[in-house]
Amino acid sequence: MTEESKREVLRQKRETALAGGLGKSRDRHVAAGKLLVRQRLELLFDDGFDFEDGLLAASEVGLPGDGIITCIGKVNGQDTAVIANDATVKAGTWGHKSLLKFNRMQDLAKDAGLPIIYLVDSAGARIDEQKQLFLGRNGWGNIWYNMVQASGVIPQVCVLFGPSPAGAAYVPGLADLVIMVDKQASAYLGSPRMAKMTIFEDVTDEQMGGARLHCNVSGLGDVLVKDDAEAIASARDYVAFLPKNWAEKPPVVKAVPPSTDAKPIGSVVPENQNVPYDVHDLIDGLVDADSFYEVKANFAKEITTGLARLGGAPVGIIANNSKHKGGVLFNDTSDKAARFIWMCNAFNIPLLFLQDISGYMIGTAVEKAGIIRHGAKLLSAVCESTVPRICVLVRKAYGGGYLAMSGAPTHPDAMLALPTALPALVGPEAAVNAIHFNKIMELPEEERAAYVSSKRDEYAQDIDVYRAAADTFAVEDVVDPEHLRDDLIKRFRIYGQRKAGIIERRSAVHPV
């Protein structure tokens, strides 16, 4: 064979592999309104691949790339590893060669300290290859072993464009962030067909594990998007906040002022602690314009979590939102906040707590559901964080909620307060009822309201924020709302220069 004919053979093999699946599988994919996998990669990378591994895998059996693409390219100028299913090739299922490619790219990313983005659109593992790939040390489970080993070392993002069933569901389960395409993405351990056969439950894919279920109810999904293009844009926005790996600092960009549409901070927070407000208005007035990237926006809305920029530098925000359930901490609230704090702490992103909290929810329902365990998870995340951490007392700062939201005993770098802050073990209503209950019961019915009102006023005077600043140095400063942004920027700059402490131990025993 001549050199020219050899090159022609190579050219044809590469063209066949690059084309992916053809015929009906391709037509169905496109008809569903989904982008082909290489179209997704074109949107994700700044300027194409740096290189691709395993393009010709399984070419001898007519499975281009064995249904998976593993490659390196730049995302926002940063080298990034990508592992992407090609759903037009055997429904994006994993076989022996795709497993080898998957694991090799995971190893490369971890060794080189590069983020991984998983573009998932897969019907799962190939059952007809289970003998070779299920039980042994080289089996499919290596994917999740590698994800766990890389957790907190390199960022791992999962973008779900389609299904991710059975064991494959643990790719989103173990990723740092999960983006799901509405009406396309799904994840479940047992398919609707299996559920019908085994437990006689008749449900659809969407009911079993659709994007809205996971973003609104289960909490598996972090960001809900409308289509493939928005999913890719969201992934690019997210990784722009992160360093390549845990040993580096997150990227800083040019600072911009808050949005011109943002309300003055002093006008956002009602002085009456019983009047709710949307904490997004407060965040908008603090952060650089259009920089807030919310995580789990549709789940446990009583707490708001997300990444933003303050003076061009990334910061993770955890804020009670009194607009929803009064901002009280529930089981899901605690899980949501703890997971976000762990992610920020892993990748050197400073933490900003905006506290307006009356405490944890009480009652038999939450106790049966394990609120102590879940609440301890949040306390654990706060207390073991070592990145720069500032807590701002916006309004209520009561009881265990005060501690869980980075109160002074959890050793933040700074405790700041707005003039509207009300730090206390309990609020006036609960305090008066606890302290004066017997006296109230002894009074004639017509005298009780006036007595309770006077005692509440008396108690409220005792939880004045200025006393907290003057008597016990519980807060570093009481800040004018219009100066808060500048104060935070300056403080984070200074606190970012200290060396982060490391707790010497093999592993914490975390609450579950």
Strand order in the sheet with 68-75: 49-53, 68-75, 78-85, 116-120, 156-160, 177-181, 223-225
Q: Which of these, 187, 199, 33, lies nearest to 124 by C-alpha position?
A: 187
Do residues 293 and 241 touch, judged by C-beta distance below 8 A? yes
In this structure, what are the phi and psi dihedrals at residue 129, rounded to the nearest 5 degrees? -115, 15
- DSSP per position, 95-158: -HHHHHHHHHHHHHHHHHT--EEEEE----B-GGGHHHHSSSTTSTTHHHHHHHHHTTTS-EEE
In this structure, what DSSP letter does residue 215 have? I
Q: How does residue 508 score in pLDDT terms, banded at 50, 70 and 90?
A: confident
434 pLDDT exceeds 50? Answer: no
Residue 386: is its pLDDT beyond 90?
yes
Residue 432 has pLDDT above 90, yes or no: no
Cα-to-chain-centroid distance, residue 72: 24
Burial class of 495 by CB neighbour count within 10 A (0 to 12, 13 to 18, 19+)? middle
Write the pLDDT tens digit of every residue in 89-102: 999 899 889 999 99
- From the list 9, 489, 39, the residue with the least C-alpha distance to 256 is 489
Q: Which of 81-85, 231-235, 363-367, 431-435 has the lowest mean pLDDT?
A: 431-435
Percentage of residues in the chain having pLDDT higher than 70: 92
Residue 209 pLDDT: 92
Name the strand (E) or helix (H) holding 73.
strand 68-75
Cα separation, 195 vs 493, whole angstroms:
54
235 has a pLDDT exceeding 70: yes
The band of 43, judged by pLDDT with boundaries at 50, 70 and 90, is very high
Q: How far apart are CA 35 and CA 22, in angstroms?
A: 14
**Bigger pLDDT: 198 or 333?**
333
- Of 150 and 446, the one with more pLDDT: 150
Longest pairwise C-alpha distance within the chain: 109
- pLDDT at site 199: 81
Q: Pseudo-torsion of CA 227, 229, 232, 237, nearest 10°?
A: -100
**pLDDT averaged over the chain?**
90
**Predicted local distance difference test score (pLDDT) of residue 443:** 65
- The candidate with the shortest Cα–Cα distance to 186, out of 202, 170, 168, 163, is 163
- The answer to whether the beta carbons of residues 245 and 262 sit under 8 Å apart is no
Q: Which domains does the chain have, with CATH numbers?
A: 3-240 (3.90.226.10), 265-426+463-496 (3.90.226.10), 428-462 (no CATH)
pLDDT at 329 > cutoff 70: yes
Residue 58 has what DSSP assignment?
A: T
**Which pLDDT belongs to residue 55?**
93
pLDDT in tens, 261-274: 999 999 999 988 88
The two tokens of residue 333 are 């609230």
Single pTM value for the model:
0.93
Give the pLDDT band of residue 430 (cuts 50, 70, 90): low
3-state secondary structure of 172: helix
- Pairing between β-strand 313-320 and β-strand 351-357 as defined by DSSP bridges: parallel
Query: What stretch of H or E contains 510?
Result: none
Best CA proximity match to 20, nearest among 84, 52, 62, 64: 64
pLDDT of the residue at 448: 63
pLDDT at 132 over 80: no
